[in-house]
A = this chain, B = another copy of it.
Amino acid sequence: MIRIAILGATGYTARELLGLLLRHPEVEVRALTTRQETQPHVAEVHPSLRGRLDLKLENLTTAEVAKRADCVFGCLPHAASAAVISELLDAGCRVVDFSADYRLDDPQVYTKWYQVEHPDPDRMPKTVYGLPELFRESIRGAHLVANPGCYPTAAILALAPLLKAGAIAPRGIVIDAKSGVTGAGRSPKANLHFPEANENLTPYGVGEHRHTPEIDLILSKWAAVETNVVFTPHLIPMDRGELITAYADITAEWSTETLLEILQDYYADEPFVRVIEGLPGTKQVANTNFCDVTVRQVGDKAVVFGAIDNLIKGASGAAVQNFNLMYDFPETTALL
């Protein structure tokens, strides 16, 4: 039994993670932390979990967490996350970090996009990016895994094999992304108030979204090219689900069929990437750890689609998949 702690257990990703871990035969959830002073029962914070887990959220020190848990899932905000995680690693815990802190490899790029000094810069370039479809072998046995952002997951899974195959040009890729509202977190805000977000469709963070450098870094590194994606996210009036529609110049006489073949070949043995011939819908992946990808040739462009559940494959499901790899459990445990 691996003893588990979740840091910052009040949000949607923690709730989804708990739902998955409660089905995992090899784990026991031992600690849930919050930075609030009150110690609410998990059933108060996440009423859907009432009757499934009898645990309080607690304001625990890092030392207390390290005493109770073998593996820690960190759902803390960036910068706060690395500060705690570096201590947990030193104390011998393994960590899956949901924050962005260990996804980038360059502290200066981090500071530019996150407007804060990185508290643990040395670990940045050494940390594996937790996308098993690209970095499986490095994740096996790792002590720290940087769980990918939701948009990067869908974008990279859709684009990476085409880039590596040289079928699409690395420069000028447009990623038009759409996400359900859980992607914006659980804190009430004016634009996320039901009567504002419902029946509405809005772009946000145009040209400024922090997933931009993450997508460029991983695509460029893995495919050995240099990308400069233009990334535009939009808020969709639904709970969960994320679709990226990417546009890239085709480099040669590629057709829909030959582009699809590249994806099919690359993902032939992947348990959680489905290369589909029809067009994707986020509902087909909702509440699952699947990523559905497909591609169409339209004129000189490849139009590439990737659909995930932003809370599962885009966060908590990916974390469990990484956890399974880290501890050598079957990769799909608790995820099907």
Interface residues of A (CB under 8 A from B): 12, 22-23, 47-48, 50-52, 172, 174, 176, 178, 180-182, 186-190, 192-204, 206-207, 228, 230, 232, 234, 236-241, 243, 245, 247, 249, 271, 274, 276, 278-288, 290, 292, 296-301, 303, 305, 307, 336
Contact = CB atoms under 8 A, between A and B. Distances in A.
10 smallest CB-CB distances across A and B, nearest first, come from: A207-B298, A200-B283, A188-B188, A176-B176, A202-B281, A194-B197, A181-B194, A47-B284, A188-B193, A199-B238
B193 A296 contact: no
Given A48-B285, A274-B50, A239 B188 contact: no
Contact of A236 (B23, B172, B201, B204): B201
B301 A230 contact: yes
B193 A193 contact: yes
Contacts of A174: 174, 176, 247, 301
Contacts of A194: 181, 192-194, 196-198, 237, 239
Contact of A203 (B172, B192, B239, B280): B280
A35 to B, nearest CB: 17
Given A193-B186, A230-B301, A236 B239 contact: no
A195 B182 contact: yes
Given A182-B195, A199-B283, A280-B202, A48 B288 contact: yes
Contacts of A193: 186-189, 192-194
A237 B238 contact: yes
A204 B188 CA distance: 19
A299 B230 contact: yes
A236 B193 CA distance: 14
21 contacts: A47-B281, A48-B288, A51-B271, A172-B249, A174-B247, A180-B199, A188-B189, A188-B193, A192-B195, A193-B193, A199-B239, A200-B238, A201-B238, A201-B283, A201-B307, A202-B243, A202-B282, A206-B279, A234-B245, A236-B236, A237-B237
A174 B186 CA distance: 33
Contacts of A196: 194, 283
Given A195-B182, A207-B303, A176 B245 contact: yes
B243 A298 contact: no
A16 to B, nearest CB: 11
A178 B284 contact: no
A202 to B, nearest CB: 4
A77 B193 CA distance: 20
Contacts of A202: 243, 279-282
A7 to B, nearest CB: 21
Contact of A198 (B181, B204, B284): B181
A234 B179 CA distance: 13
B199 A245 contact: no
A310 to B, nearest CB: 11
A161 to B, nearest CB: 18
